[in-house]
Amino acid sequence: MSALHLSSTIADLRTQVKIWRQASQSIAMVPTMGALHEGHFSLIREAKLRADRCIVSIFVNPAQFAPNEDLNTYPRQLERDLEQLVSLGADLAFTPATQEIYGENFATKVVVGGPAIGLESDFRPTFFEGVATIVAKLFIQATPNYAIFGEKDYQQLCVIRQMCRDLDLPVKIIGSPTIRDEHGLALSSRNAYLDADQLDIARRLNLILRESASAISHGVTPDLETARASQALVEAGFTKIDYVAARESTALAPWQADKPGRLLAAVWLKNTRLIDNVEIAAQT
């Protein structure tokens, strides 16, 4: 097992990457906001399968939080995260301070469209701009061959793929299947906010989505089925439904029956917002 190199500055990160490049080694990157769990671990394992070296960034990105969101309370456990990275055999942890990423008079942002329009952006208008900006910066700083993202954040995955195509960024984006607990709940750092009763409710989300995706793939009109799913989620105990929507799998345009798609949802349990998605099989 190789030692974990710690970098907190862009200069040090680039120095280490240069050494690996000079040795003709490939690099895979896993961008995270820390509070690592089994979902992240699966991405790191995938990265190690893809490349000679694995970089994991840990940075709670303020640019993707709205003023009313949980930036200040977002789980942070850097020491534990680094211990996990050592056990997983990651090669480098990039842990910059906010000032290192967004220096004085920072003024440049990546503006995204296409799959970024609608769904999350209806409720978090600046979210994908913040995500695209930090991911583009990380790719420029680390120059990875591969970057691994979880399918739980499916719209984000589509946005990052679109950005790399549009900006000719030489990074292959790998989508890794969502990791779930034994009840089907997608693993998320924000699950730590949920008490036992809320966890019981949260575990209904994926079941309801899978039932609705099956109904749509068997011919039920998407608008009717997503309305039914929203009602089922309210009856299950979710306190607010931001959206349940059927979309095609790449550009996230409205779903068409002859193409595979995704059923995506964002819901609330009191102060905690959860997202999930499931595949919709193409009608035959």
Could you give the residue numbers annotated as active site?
40
Asked whether residue 155 is marked as a ligand-binding residue, the answer is no
Asked whether residue 19 is marked as a ligand-binding residue, the answer is no
In angstroms, the CA 20 to CA 142 distance is: 11
Question: Strand, helix or coil at 164?
Answer: helix
Residue ranges of E strands in the chain: 5-7, 27-32, 53-58, 92-94, 146-150, 172-176, 240-248, 261-269, 272-280
Asked whether residue 179 is marked as a ligand-binding residue, the answer is yes
Alpha carbon 170 to chain centroid distance?
Answer: 20
Asked whether residue 78 is marked as a ligand-binding residue, the answer is no
Asked whether residue 218 is marked as a ligand-binding residue, the answer is no
Asked whether residue 194 is marked as a ligand-binding residue, the answer is no
Asked whether residue 157 is marked as a ligand-binding residue, the answer is no
Residues 6+ apart with CB under 8 A from 284: none
Asked whether residue 34 is marked as a ligand-binding residue, the answer is yes
User: In what helix (H) or strand (E) does residue 128 lie, and over which residues does it extend?
Assistant: helix 127-142
Asked whether residue 187 is marked as a ligand-binding residue, the answer is yes
Tokens of residue 125, six digits: 């208008």
Return binding residues for ATP. Answer: 33-40, 150-153, 179, 187-190
Return binding residues for (R)-pantoate. Answer: 64, 156
